Amino acid sequence: MAAPSDLAMDNLTGVWEMDKGLSDDIGPVLELQGLSWFLRTAIAFATATMKISEYTDVDPTTSKSVVRIDIAQILTGGLAGTTEKRILSWTDREHKDYIFGHVVGRGRLFRGSKDEDGRVRPAVDMQTKHDDPKIKKFLRGEIHSDGSPAEGFLVEEPKSDMFGEGEGLWLQSFARNVDSGWTAEQIWGFEMVNGKRFYTRRIAVTSANGKYVLARMVVSFLRHKEE
């Protein structure tokens, strides 16, 4: 279902589910990341439920306040779940799981600004090393993965002033696979999909030889997380 109004980029705490009916096909993304046909097929048929906790903590490396996001992902179809612990300080950290292997990634919350057309869009400092302008336009919400125009992200103000100057709030994630060299850049936000407000993830995966795939994942809200 659509996201309730009390949940936003500065509060994603809740139980969510990937909506395969509203999302782009994830298969080409997983293939470019080197997943086996068996694992890609299993994921395609599985239901992915995410228990998300977003909170402010002390960064162990700087002793400053930092936003953290913990995600416990549960997969059906006999697949083991995965756990992510994101510290949004834009500092490289290692992560390993059986799906994506050994990756080094970083993430942050960031603001947006007005474009020449007067619309506010996320001020993406793109990390993906590719010269096709379509990638950045997609990550910023200007176009869909097929290149057609998109309504774009909703611009929603955070409740805290800890995120600095600008408008709106989005999450940027960038990861690199240590073994095969692919990169995955994501921008998270909220968009109107079929007239309803949904949490979305726009993903650009690029292989070591320069091939790339774009996909938007639409995430449905299930319930508020039990304390």
Res 2: pLDDT? 97
- Look at residue 19 and give its three-state secondary structure: coil
pLDDT, tens digit (0-9, with 9 covering 90-100), for 174-223: 999 999 999 999 999 999 999 999 999 999 999 999 999 999 999 999 99
Give the span between the Cα atoms of 64 and 49, in whole angstroms. 31
Res 178: pLDDT? 96
Give the span between the Cα atoms of 106 and 56, in whole angstroms. 17
Res 87: pLDDT? 94
Give the span between the Cα atoms of 215 and 25, in whole angstroms. 7
Res 193: pLDDT? 98
For the chain, residues with pLDDT lower than 70 are: 226-227
Res 61: pLDDT? 78
Token digits of residue 30: 């997983």
Which domains does the chain show, CATH number per domain?
A: 14-222 (2.40.128.20)
Res 116: pLDDT? 86
Q: Which residues, including other chains, have CB under 8 Å from residue 4's CB and lie 6 or more apart?
A: 221, 224
